[in-house]
């Protein structure tokens, strides 16, 4: 199954990113720490080309710490500057600034040798929708500048933001690529709330999450939903969870859509605990 979704404003945003790249020293690409590879836009690789890039794994507080360490090691081995961030941790924000300074140093030294006056480092923040761009910008600027929300598509235009004297950031709208050839990518992004819920069946998304929990986090499935890892009948699993969480219709019948919504909301909110939906391929 190929999932297609490419609204007109995203095509426009891609063109704007291409036009503004020459104004910045490097790019800060944000991904979701729960699905670092799936939340990385392959289309942006073509747009960024040779521009230096920093990868920021957002929402590390929701991700499996062991897998986050594996991903950071994976990127290090591939010579990609990467850092994991919890936006509520001041130390993480300072580390983003420190890494940004390091990445911008070479460009500023070149400008200095040419006799050009020192200026702030300029970076463009890019990423897919709902990955936390606006939240990170507000933390970097230490005030509310960019709009935030828990749904995709909050940022719809580009804006420059000053971060003390260290940075000038160019915010951009979230950009998805035209279609997901790998349906697992689509399910991972749907599970963490990156693409709109209407694109896939809630029951299919929840079934994907449950199957993954059975394989990688059976203890979470057991403790949260009282479902055994070896239980194969998805209908019966939905019945168990729906009954436990009161997702009932008149007559006591289980409402599968409500049950699916419970599973997905528990994942997105962190009530399932810290987990990651994919592992790096070594």
221 torsion bin: left (phi>0), alpha (psi -120 to 50), beta (else) = alpha
Point out the least confidently predicted range of 132-136, 140-144, 177-181, 262-266.
Answer: 177-181
Please give the angle made by the CA atoms of 108, 110 and 111, to the nearest 5 degrees: 65
Parallel, antiparallel, or unpaired: how do β-strands 26-32 and 3-4 relate?
unpaired
Percentage of residues in the chain having pLDDT higher than 70: 84
pLDDT tens profile 130-155:
888 888 988 888 876 655 444 444 44
Among candidate residues 110, 89, 112, 95, the one with its CA nearest the CA of residue 166: 95
Which pLDDT band, with edges at 50, 70 and 90, does 51 fall under? confident
How far are the Cα atoms of 51, 242, 262 from residue 102, in angstroms, in the given order? 15, 51, 43
Mean pLDDT of 166-172: 78
Using CB atoms within 10 A of its CB, is residue 272 exposed (0-12), middle (13-18) or buried (19+)?
Answer: buried
Please give the angle made by the CA atoms of 186, 188 and 189, to the nearest 5 degrees: 65
Among candidate residues 98, 99, 90, the one with its CA nearest the CA of residue 54: 99
- Structural domains in the chain plus CATH codes: 3-179 (3.40.50.300), 201-269 (1.10.1580.10)
Give the rounded distance of the alpha carbon of 8 from its chain centre.
21
Does the reported pTM lie above 0.75?
Answer: yes
């Amino acid at each position: 199954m190929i999932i297609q979704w490419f609204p007109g404003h995203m095509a426009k945003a891609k063109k704007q990113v291409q036009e503004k790249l020459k104004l910045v020293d490097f790019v800060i690409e944000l991904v979701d720490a729960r699905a670092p590879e799936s939340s990385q836009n392959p289309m942006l690789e073509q747009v960024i080309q040779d521009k230096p890039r920093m990868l920021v794994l957002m929402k590390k507080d929701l991700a499996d710490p062991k897998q986050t360490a594996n991903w950071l090691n994976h990127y290090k081995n591939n010579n990609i500057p990467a850092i994991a961030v919890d936006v509520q941790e001041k130390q993480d924000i300072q580390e983003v600034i420190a890494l940004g300074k390091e990445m911008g140093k070479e460009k500023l030294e070149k400008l200095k040798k040419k006799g050009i006056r020192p200026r702030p480092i300029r970076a463009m923040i890019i990423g897919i929708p709902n990955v936390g761009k606006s939240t990170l910008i507000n933390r970097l600027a230490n005030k509310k500048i960019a709009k935030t929300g828990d749904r995709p598509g909050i940022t719809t235009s580009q804006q420059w933001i000053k971060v003390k004297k260290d940075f000038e950031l160019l915010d951009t709208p979230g950009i998805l690529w035209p279609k997901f050839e790998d349906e697992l990518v689509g399910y991972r992004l749907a599970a963490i709330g990156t693409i709109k819920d209407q694109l896939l069946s809630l029951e299919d998304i929840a079934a994907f999450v449950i199957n993954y929990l059975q394989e990688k986090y059976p203890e979470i499935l057991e403790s949260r939903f009282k479902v055994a890892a070896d239980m194969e009948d998805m209908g019966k699993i939905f019945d168990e969870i729906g009954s436990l969480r009161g997702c009932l219709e008149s007559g006591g019948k289980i409402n599968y859509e409500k049950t699916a919504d419970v599973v997905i909301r528990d994942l997105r909110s962190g009530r399932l605990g810290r987990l990651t939906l994919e592992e790096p391929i070594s």
